[in-house]
Amino acid sequence: MKQEKVLPAAITIFGAKGDLARRKLIPALYNLYADEHLPDQFSIFCVDFLTIEQGAYRDWLLEGVDQFSRTGKADRQKWAQFSKSIIYIQGDFMQAATYTTLKTAIKKFEDTEKVRGIRMFYFAVAPRFIEPIADALCNNKLCNRDTLDRIVVEKPFGTDLDSAKKLNRYMSKRFKEKQIYHIDHYLGKEMVQNIMAFRFANYVFEPLWNNKYIDHVQISVAEEVSVGKRGGYYDSSGALRDMIQNHLLQLLCIIAMNCPKQYEAEAIRDEKVKVLKNIRPFTTEQVFKNVVRAQYTAGRVHGEDRPAYRDEEQVAKDSNTETLVAAKFFIDNDRWKGVPFFLRTGKDMPRQSSVIMIQFKDSPHKIFKDDVLPNRLMISIQPELEIGLLFEGKEPGLHMKLVPVEMDFMYKGNYMQSLPEAYEALLLDVLEGDATQFMRADQIEWAWKVVMPIIEAWKKSPKKGLQFYEAGTWGPKAADALLKPHAKAWYTFDHESEGATTPAAFDDSHAPSRVDGNGTPEMSNPAEKEAEQETSHA
Amino acid sequence: MKQEKVLPAAITIFGAKGDLARRKLIPALYNLYADEHLPDQFSIFCVDFLTIEQGAYRDWLLEGVDQFSRTGKADRQKWAQFSKSIIYIQGDFMQAATYTTLKTAIKKFEDTEKVRGIRMFYFAVAPRFIEPIADALCNNKLCNRDTLDRIVVEKPFGTDLDSAKKLNRYMSKRFKEKQIYHIDHYLGKEMVQNIMAFRFANYVFEPLWNNKYIDHVQISVAEEVSVGKRGGYYDSSGALRDMIQNHLLQLLCIIAMNCPKQYEAEAIRDEKVKVLKNIRPFTTEQVFKNVVRAQYTAGRVHGEDRPAYRDEEQVAKDSNTETLVAAKFFIDNDRWKGVPFFLRTGKDMPRQSSVIMIQFKDSPHKIFKDDVLPNRLMISIQPELEIGLLFEGKEPGLHMKLVPVEMDFMYKGNYMQSLPEAYEALLLDVLEGDATQFMRADQIEWAWKVVMPIIEAWKKSPKKGLQFYEAGTWGPKAADALLKPHAKAWYTFDHESEGATTPAAFDDSHAPSRVDGNGTPEMSNPAEKEAEQETSHA
């Protein structure tokens, strides 16, 4: 579907020879172009330190598109058209000359098009380059029109509250808040956006969405991948900073927030900030009671040998960095008082599964003696996209006997076309000036405030409570024990194996009957899967 | 699954040469036997006026099983075993000798088994025989042990409030209330029983189940069949007496009732009676405003020519009997004040469809401009067995655009075995002494009280407001107009044709995306369909 075209766009990618540019940004821009979502006039300025010929650079990008684009191999004719607009600019991010060259190139594009359109600057760079690039953009007046010029920054947004505040202050002296798009690609995911529609366009869920009816919430992002080549960055970060502080707390906000006044960036982000502000802060003692951290040891995932975390490249042999976190949070407001929000993420787990599970309370008055199953609403974000409601029905037959059944809505089967990737949606949002799915500076700071007590407690006692789990398992027992008495095990969405909906979570292993019959998952290419998870760019 | 066996049973069917016995009762008993649900010792005494040899009678029944049983042709070996227990007793229901013969036969069975077990007397007879048979059973002390002896009576239970009261009084002088099982086979249907489980074993529905969240309820039993050979009975009855007074009001009770104290016959029926008592009575003027009656004219159903009702066998050429009723009821209690319950039933409609649709209210605060669709819970009772929730989701793609989607739970695909028929469940209930799915005398009287103002208003003005609709259509416009402003057309469940979920009911023909991919309906044999609907025995 062709949307209304936006102004001409001068798009600059800093870090153009990096993984993110090749795996995500260029494939996303190419798909936006192919689907006619880009403006008719656009140019992509690709800035990086390495020297490479224009043609060789474009070929390197084309290989990336062929390998990582959701649409598969690029159409050669479309690519030829598209790639004409790609201009590689060799330059050191720390050198003034780089920005002079860039400015000349952008001006030339704008002079040709006779319109001063949108300028987007994508910071696909290591954190240490953010401030110098921002400063240079400011000094060169490259990003000075607040209605037209936009900066896109990738996480990590600082490494703790102080550094995040410092970074925000630095940026806010140079740009207007509304010019800065803090990207959290989880917010661009189809199913995550659908949660907003699901919650706020359907009045039947709102009456149930509170501590009177909800027992607890589980938000789990299990990753099949290991730390891979990201050891250098990861070892100084860990799962708490890499996943919980951003992705998982953002998912928590979407589940817990009140309905915004309007579907509009400021109103939505105001409501999300309110949630973060209301999360109960941990004392040091509470950290060790409510947060489990663990690190993987050698094991096997899908029959593939995996080394221990401490044997990964660029990881310290005595590292205490966590590759798995499970935490129990409470939100101290009227709606959520007393409802635990369990968050878990880990690497080297048996399979990829990003899910949200909302478990409802049991009826205060039961009339069936075999009514043992609480209702559950299950939202699978990836790899499957699905919403399901677990309930009890009558088992067909001559007597009234209850059996767990599921009502499902699946994207598969309903929507046959390949779904746009998060980066496509988010890059188009930036071009259109829609900040709805981006994080505001205060959101980032409040999210840091939530995790700071954990960071500090672990810093003080680096080994205290650190657990180990074998690669290819669902993590240490302590992570399951955290759920008590609300559940016995973490919910993991499994559409392939009948009844694997954590039967352990129920006393008598009720295996729900499933409406199934669909084929393989939407996203089954292992390269794609890896790319989907390879979100940072150390 | 083998249930605990009950006491030996002497089962008597009065009206043993009738359609009900052949199409429903014997196939149900045979299937109960085949699935090992009958007691080890049982005998079936088949009483009717006609003279027929034992062997010929059994053969005639076997043909019926072969044709009408849900399990298809009977297993010859099992039938041979089963049919040994069938004893045909020729006798006039009005003659004392009949009961003497019957008593001797039952005594002989009980003497052989050396146990005085259960006695069940099934009245599959025209209404005029009910009292004489009951009287004879009483006089012969055939049904005098209130814990063991049971009578099963089929509708019609009288033809109006007075006759129903008279009949109840007559019976209550001869038997204990708990001995009398008033059968409404709709209550034995799998999905109808499932509604009880759905409502009362799942706490997520209860908070929504009231006038704050529900806009209106539609209960629709559309029949594809015409009046067929039932003209003689039907012409003096009509759709109001034949369907609304019993089946549809019972469905209304199940949707509207409060949770019973226990899942137990008296508690459940107490709650149902409360609903009937709270239905707002019509004045004569209100009858003509809130109740639409119509009669079919000649037309075509599934390409088959159908005569006008007035041209059916045994129907008066100037008959004003209604073959379709649509009515709007209100229940004046805290839960339902202001929520219309729309009931509709009709013959010669385009296809069979028994559905309940609960439409929820719209959100008081909408944040999406394209949020136009109210949530709907849809319960399909037959021919498909399905529960679905219509909601709005995000259309996959780069922008936030809402689209109607459905969460479904289907029996098909989840339960592969053929489901027991209503009569199997209900006959076993009688043998087990479980009256949960049967109507109590006061329920019947209260249901008559609800329809009496309509009967009287129509009697006073036999032609006033009578509409006509062509066979093979969904009825007169007036039946749709009754729904205003809550809906534009009656909801008709249609799983085959995408988007046929009454698009007319929504301004902009939103066609929900469906999770489908199943084959043909469970019940696709036309003979079976007809039998399913051929419920009376004039």
Asked whether residue B64 is domain-assigned, the answer is yes
Q: What is the mean pLDDT of residues A4-14?
A: 85
User: How far apart, in whole angstroms, are the C-alpha atoms of residue B517 and residue A413?
Assistant: 9
Asked whether residue B271 is domain-assigned, the answer is yes
User: How far apart, in whole angstroms, are the C-alpha atoms of residue A242 and residue B282?
Assistant: 67
**Is residue B501 predicted with pLDDT exceeding 50?**
no
Taking the Cβ of residue B196 and every Cβ of chain A, the question of whether any pair is shorter than 8 Å is answered with: yes
Q: What is the mean pLDDT of residues B167-177?
A: 97
Catalytic: B247?
A: yes
CA nearest to A498 within chain B: B414
Rounded to a whole number of angstroms, the distance from the CA of A34 to the nearest CA of chain B is 14
Name the band, by pLDDT with cuts 50, 70 and 90, for residue B300. very high
Which residues does residue B328 pair with via DSSP β-bridges, in sequence order? B342
- Cβ contacts of residue B169 below 8 Å, gap of 6+? none
SS3 assignment for B361-425: CCCCCCCCCCCCCCCEEEEEEECCCEEEEEEEEECCCCCCCEEEEEEEEECCCCCCCCCCCHHHH
Collect all residues of chain B within an 8 Å Cβ-Cβ radius of residue A417.
Answer: 396
Collect all residues of chain B within an 8 Å Cβ-Cβ radius of residue A263.
Answer: 367-368, 400
Collect all residues of chain B within an 8 Å Cβ-Cβ radius of residue A202.
Answer: 363, 375, 391-392
**Hey, of B5, B38, B203, which one would you mutate to test binding to chain A, going by the most A CBs within 10 A of its CB?**
B203
Collect all residues of chain A within an 8 Å Cβ-Cβ radius of residue B398.
Answer: 3, 32, 37, 420, 424-425, 428
A398 and A498 in a single domain? The answer is yes
Name the band, by pLDDT with cuts 50, 70 and 90, for residue A210. very high
Q: What is the mean pLDDT of residues A464-471?
A: 98
pLDDT for residue A518: 28
Q: What is the mean pLDDT of residues A431-450?
A: 96
Name the band, by pLDDT with cuts 50, 70 and 90, for residue B58. very high
Containing structural domain, residue B73: 9-154
B143 and B233 in a single domain? The answer is no
B351 and B269 in a single domain? The answer is yes
Q: Give the CATH number for residue A105.
A: 3.40.50.720
Asked whether residue B365 is domain-assigned, the answer is yes
Rounded to a whole number of angstroms, the distance from the CA of B30 to the nearest CA of chain A is 14
Q: What is the mean pLDDT of residues A360-374?
A: 90
Give the burial string for A152-170 (b: 16+ CB within 10 Å, else e): bbbbbbbbbbeebeebbee
B504 and B378 in a single domain? The answer is yes
Taking the Cβ of residue B402 and every Cβ of chain A, the question of whether any pair is shorter than 8 Å is answered with: yes
Percent of chain A with pLDDT over 70: 89
Count of positions (residues) in chain A: 538
User: How far apart, in whole angstroms, are the C-alpha atoms of residue A166 and residue A169?
Assistant: 5
B133: helix, coil or strand? helix
Q: What is the mean pLDDT of residues B397-401?
A: 90
pTM score: 0.89
B332 and B469 in a single domain? The answer is yes
**Is residue B280 predicted with pLDDT exceeding 90?**
yes
| Element (DSSP H or E) covering residue A234 | helix A231-235
User: How far apart, in whole angstroms, are the C-alpha atoms of residue B311 and residue A41?
Assistant: 74
Name the band, by pLDDT with cuts 50, 70 and 90, for residue B416. low
Phi-psi region of B412 (alpha: psi -120 to 50; beta: other; left: phi over 0): beta
Which residue has tokens 């509604």?
Answer: B195
Of B190, B259, B362, the CB nearest to A365: B259
Collect all residues of chain B within an 8 Å Cβ-Cβ radius of residue A38.
Answer: none
CA distances from A513 to A170, A416, A495, B204, B409 (A): 55, 25, 11, 19, 10
Taking the Cβ of residue A144 and every Cβ of chain B, the question of whether any pair is shorter than 8 Å is answered with: no
pLDDT for residue B394: 92
pLDDT for residue A493: 77
B142 and B209 in a single domain? The answer is no
Q: What is the mean pLDDT of residues B60-66?
A: 97
**Rg (Cα) of chain A, in Å, rounded?**
24
Name the band, by pLDDT with cuts 50, 70 and 90, for residue B524. very low
DSSP string, B153-211: EESP--SSHHHHHHHHHHHHHHS-GGGEEEE-GGGGSHHHHHHHHHHHS-TTTGGGSST
**Is residue A505 predicted with pLDDT exceeding 80?**
no
Q: What is the pLDDT of residues A384-406, one digit of tens each?
A: 899 999 999 999 889 899 999 98
Contact B389 A393 (CB under 8 A): no
Of B387, B400, B424, the CB nearest to A398: B424
Phi-psi region of A279 (alpha: psi -120 to 50; beta: other; left: phi over 0): beta
Q: What is the pLDDT of residues B178-215, one digit of tens each?
A: 999 999 999 999 999 999 999 999 999 999 999 999 99
CA atoms within 13 A on the CB side of A148: 15
Asked whether residue B435 is domain-assigned, the answer is no
A237 and A278 in a single domain? The answer is yes
Which range, of B342-346, B350-354, B490-494, averages the lowest pLDDT? B490-494
User: How far apart, in whole angstroms, are the C-alpha atoms of residue A407 and residue A516?
Assistant: 11
Asked whether residue B506 is domain-assigned, the answer is yes
Q: Nearest 10 degrees: CA dihedral of A103, A106, A109, A113?
A: -110
A405 and A456 in a single domain? The answer is yes
Which residue has tokens 């639409």?
Answer: B292
pLDDT for residue A6: 66
Asked whether residue A124 is domain-assigned, the answer is yes
User: How far apart, in whole angstroms, are the C-alpha atoms of residue B241 and residue A215?
Assistant: 47
pLDDT for residue B411: 77
Tokens of A344: 């878990």
Q: What is the mean pLDDT of residues A509-530?
A: 31
Of A194, A413, A417, the CB nearest to B515: A413
A153 compared with B410, residue with greater pLDDT: A153
Which residue has tokens 């959520």?
Answer: A336
Taking the Cβ of residue A37 and every Cβ of chain B, the question of whether any pair is shorter than 8 Å is answered with: yes
Count of positions (residues) in chain B: 538
Q: What is the pLDDT of residues B421-452, one digit of tens each?
A: 999 999 999 999 999 999 999 999 999 999 99
**Is residue A164 predicted with pLDDT exceeding 80?**
yes
Q: What is the pLDDT of residues A40-89, one digit of tens each?
A: 999 999 999 999 999 999 999 999 999 999 999 999 999 999 999 999 99
Collect all residues of chain A within an 8 Å Cβ-Cβ radius of residue B197.
Answer: 368, 392-394, 400, 402
B337 and B482 in a single domain? The answer is yes
Collect all residues of chain A within an 8 Å Cβ-Cβ radius of residue B425.
Answer: 398
Q: How many domains does chain B have?
A: 2
pLDDT for residue A523: 27
Q: Report chain A's mean pLDDT, rounded to a whole number.
A: 89
- Cβ contacts of residue A282 below 8 Å, gap of 6+? A290, A291, A453, A454, A457
Which residue has tokens 């129907």?
Answer: B315
Collect all residues of chain B within an 8 Å Cβ-Cβ radius of residue A375.
Answer: 202-204
Collect all residues of chain A within an 8 Å Cβ-Cβ radius of residue B518.
Answer: 517
The residue type at B134: A
pLDDT for residue B413: 66
A410 and A507 in a single domain? The answer is yes
pLDDT for residue A411: 77
CA distances from A180 to A117, A430, B431 (A): 17, 10, 75
Asked whether residue A3 is domain-assigned, the answer is no
Taking the Cβ of residue B386 and every Cβ of chain A, the question of whether any pair is shorter than 8 Å is answered with: no
pLDDT for residue A495: 53
pLDDT for residue B364: 87
Name the band, by pLDDT with cuts 50, 70 and 90, for residue A416. low
A266 and A125 in a single domain? The answer is no
CA nearest to A513 within chain B: B414
Taking the Cβ of residue A6 and every Cβ of chain B, the question of whether any pair is shorter than 8 Å is answered with: no
Angle at B163 between CA B158 and CA B167, to 5 degrees: 75
CA atoms within 13 A on the CB side of A362: 12
User: How far apart, in whole angstroms, are the C-alpha atoms of residue A160 and residue A169?
Assistant: 14
A147 and A199 in a single domain? The answer is no
Burial of B331 (C-beta count, 10 Å sphere; 0-12/13-18/19+)? buried
Of A194, A513, A515, the CB nearest to B393: A194
Taking the Cβ of residue B193 and every Cβ of chain A, the question of whether any pair is shorter than 8 Å is answered with: yes
Burial of B169 (C-beta count, 10 Å sphere; 0-12/13-18/19+)? exposed
Rounded to a whole number of angstroms, the distance from the CA of A196 to the nearest CA of chain B is 8
CA nearest to B409 within chain A: A407
pLDDT for residue A113: 82
pLDDT for residue B418: 78
A387: helix, coil or strand? strand
Taking the Cβ of residue B258 and every Cβ of chain A, the question of whether any pair is shorter than 8 Å is answered with: no
> Could you give the residue ranges of the DSSP H alpha helices within B38-189?
54-68, 76-83, 96-113, 130-139, 161-174
Of A261, A375, A402, the CB nearest to B197: A402
Q: In A198-298, at which residue ranges do the beta strands (DSSP E only) sit?
A: 214-222, 291-297
Q: What is the pLDDT of residues B68-102, one digit of tens each?
A: 999 999 999 999 999 999 999 999 999 999 999 99
Count Cβ–Cβ pairs < 8 Å, chain A vs chain B: 206
Taking the Cβ of residue B416 and every Cβ of chain A, the question of whether any pair is shorter than 8 Å is answered with: no
pLDDT for residue B523: 27
B536 compared with A92, residue with greater pLDDT: A92
Tokens of B345: 């039933």
Which range, of A125-139, A522-536, B70-84, B319-333, averages the lowest pLDDT? A522-536
Q: Give the CATH number for residue A487.
A: 3.30.360.10
> Could you give the residue ranges of the DSSP H alpha helices within B17-94?
19-20, 26-34, 54-68, 76-83
User: How far apart, in whole angstroms, are the C-alpha atoms of residue A383 and residue A518?
Assistant: 14
Backbone angles phi, psi at B125, to 5 degrees: -130, 165
* 8 A C-beta contact, residue A46 and residue A125: no
**Is residue A252 predicted with pLDDT exceeding 60?**
yes
Of A201, A425, A516, the CB nearest to B371: A201
Asked whether residue B425 is domain-assigned, the answer is no
Taking the Cβ of residue A4 and every Cβ of chain B, the question of whether any pair is shorter than 8 Å is answered with: no
User: How far apart, in whole angstroms, are the C-alpha atoms of residue A148 and residue A8?
Assistant: 10
**Hey, of A190, A202, A209, which one would you mutate to test binding to chain B, going by the most B CBs within 10 A of its CB?**
A202
DSSP conformational letter for A439: B
Q: What is the pLDDT of residues B137-157, one digit of tens each?
A: 999 999 999 999 999 999 889
Contact A407 B393 (CB under 8 A): no
Last residue of a domain, one of A136, A154, A172: A154
